[in-house]
Amino acid sequence: MRRAIVAGNWKMHGSRTENARLIEELLAHCPAQPAATCVVCPPFVYLQETGRMLRGSVLSLGGQDVCADAQGAFTGEVSAAMLKDVGCEYVIVGHSERRLLYRESDQLVARKFGAAHAKGLVPILCVGEQLADRDAGRTHEVVARQLDVVLELCGAGALERGVVAYEPVWAIGTGRNATPEQAQDAHEFIRARIGARDARIAAATRILYGGSVKAGNATELFAMPDVDGGLIGGASLKADEFLTILAAAGPG
Ligand code: 13P
């Protein structure tokens, strides 16, 4: 049985005041034993302070990105060891905003995945096609390419603890989520792709859906057999909305 994960990707939002309010509200209303693992991913500069607020709670901390290199002269970068040092358990790698806006290649993303895994973080590998790819019937091809580079470089074993997030680019921040059937199709494909290398790991890998998940559509998306929770952008900035999504990821 795969335990679902609901992770909030705050992206470049928030302030110390806003974060404190959000975390206070989350902690006040989060069930003592949520049915799914709950993770929040604030911007780097707020990780330590957010981690302090979360200490002893059921909420876990994650970074939004990580350097592929372990340490050294890499101005502006943050290493996996540093993320661990400030209390992160998770880190997002290969978000489409990083791939598209900052030109991160499949190879770089795979190295980041490996760097995070090597330091004991749980990498959340984002994959997903752009609208033109979907319209051209290339969804599986794109997702396979993004996934295969990680499987080649890190091995299927690196997914033992790892998480994949299917985030169709056309659904991110657009209010247009993939239908449950579209999500299930991509998730099933991803699981089969991993399964071709290692069936046991494929069965255990959590595959999250991301892209305009809201309180109103989470239940039907999470009901699909290969959807093991969600990676939530905009709706993770509103405590009530995020907690409703978390509840929707529970068993049944
Ligand atoms: P939205 O939920 O705002 O569409 O963002 C999804 C996302 O990119 C999460 O990483």
Phi, psi angles (nearest 5°) of residue 33: -135, 80
Average pLDDT across the chain, whole number = 97
Catalytic residue among 95, 117, 129, 241: 95
Residue span of the structural domain in which 237 resides: 5-248
Write the DSSP assignment of 2-43 as a string of letters: PPPEEEEE--S---HHHHHHHHHHHHHHS-SS-SSEEEEE--
User: What spacing in Å lies between the alpha carbon of 169 and ligand 1's midpoint?
Assistant: 9
Tens of pLDDT, residue by residue over 24-44, are 999 999 999 998 999 999 999
pLDDT at 161: 84
DSSP 175: S
Average pLDDT for 168-181 = 95
pLDDT band at 241 (very low <50, low <70, confident <90, very high): very high
User: Does 123 have pLDDT greater than 60?
Assistant: yes
The ligand 1 atom nearest the CA atom of 126: 10
Task: Name the domain count of the chain.
Answer: 1
Residue located via tokens 């529970």: 250
CATH number, domain at 89? 3.20.20.70
Q: At 251, is the pLDDT very low, low, confident or very high (cuts 50, 70, 90)?
A: low
- Residue 249's pLDDT is what? 96
**Tens-place pLDDT, residues 40-98:** 999 999 999 999 999 999 999 999 999 999 999 999 999 999 999 999 999 999 999 99
How far is it, in rounded angstroms, from Cα 80 to Cα 100?
22
Tell me what the mean pLDDT of segment 215-242 comes to: 98
Structure tokens at 79: 């290493």
Q: Does residue 252 surpass a pLDDT of 80?
A: no
Q: Does residue 167 carry a catalytic annotation?
A: yes
- Residue 232: CB within 6 Å of ligand 1? yes
What pTM value is reported for the model?
0.97
